[in-house]
Amino acid sequence: MIVGIRKLPSILGAAPLQSHRRLPTKLRMGQHNAEHNASKSNHQSRVDKFSKVIRDDHTGGWETCWEQGLTPWDLGQPTPVISHLCAMGDLPNGRALVPGCGSLSSSSPKIRYFSFLKEDFFSWRPKELFDLIFDYTFFSAIEPAMRVAWGQQMQMLLKPNGELITLMFPIDNHIGGPPYKVSVSDYEDVLLPLGFKAVLIKDNEHAIPPRKGREMIGRWKRSLAHASL
């Protein structure tokens, strides 16, 4: 931006210095807003198409979306907030689970650390519990009536004092889904009675542009007093 300000006088000539400072800001804000709105519109269009497929085919809709590449939740890269937490060393060590995960490149140098399973999340009983579970909008993808069962299974799968990270999206007032609208209280209503404690709830500053302002991150600890498996 400093470069833009320094170059501008040669174009505007005798324009006041105050105008020199304001114009680049306005130009860049306008360009940024246009790009942001276009990105948000394109993302929303894909979400609408995805939602229609799921509504029209309750049994095979999800499979159809994968076959058609209609996966607006799949960024094709690590979720920015998780990359940030990894870089900061701010995640627990041990076994991690990502229910309803997206794709992962087989060329990744760390692919040997991952296993992909096709299971019914709500009835799955692994031999070992997990230190960390990352819910990447899985909560908002399921029918709202299933959220209590979601919480019970999270409690079942986590080790005592294990951590659950939730990306809470979309926080808005739209009707229908998936994704279904969520709020912080929706998570609290499910998790707090099961002994989870909210360690951190805040806006996700690392959200991708189409989700800015509509996504929060929650970090929850499972109570030591609740038994599993």
Tell me the per-residue pLDDT of 88-113, one tens digit each, with 9 for 90 and over. Answer: 999 999 999 999 886 676 667 878 88
Evaluate whether residue 145 is within a structural domain: yes
Residue 147 has pLDDT above 50, yes or no: yes
178 prior amide bond cis, ω within 30: yes
Q: Is 44 inside a domain boundary?
A: no
Residue pair 153/191 in contact (Cβ under 8 Å)? The answer is: no
Instruction: Note whether residue 207 is domain-resident.
Output: yes
In a domain, 221, yes or no: yes
- Total-model pTM: 0.73
| CATH classification at residue 124 | 3.40.50.150
In whole angstroms, how far apart are CA 15 and each of 8, 18, 25, 28, 217? 10, 8, 16, 19, 46
What pLDDT score was predicted for residue 146? 97
Asked if the structure places residue 47 within a domain, the reply is no
pLDDT at 72 (0 to 100): 72
Report the mean per-residue pLDDT for the chain.
Answer: 79
Angle value at C-alpha 185, between 183 and 187, nearest 5 degrees = 80
Domain encompassing residue 202: 2-6+80-226
pLDDT for 111 equals 82
Confidence (pLDDT) at 227: 52
pLDDT cut 70: percent of the chain above it: 71
Give pLDDT tens digits for 37-92: 555 566 677 677 767 776 777 677 667 877 787 777 677 778 899 999 999 999 99
Model confidence at 150, in pLDDT bands (50, 70, 90)? very high
**Banded pLDDT at 135 (limits 50, 70, 90):** very high
Report how many domains make up the chain.
1
The answer as to whether 19 is a domain residue is no
Inside any domain, residue 74: no
**Structural domain includes residue 129:** yes
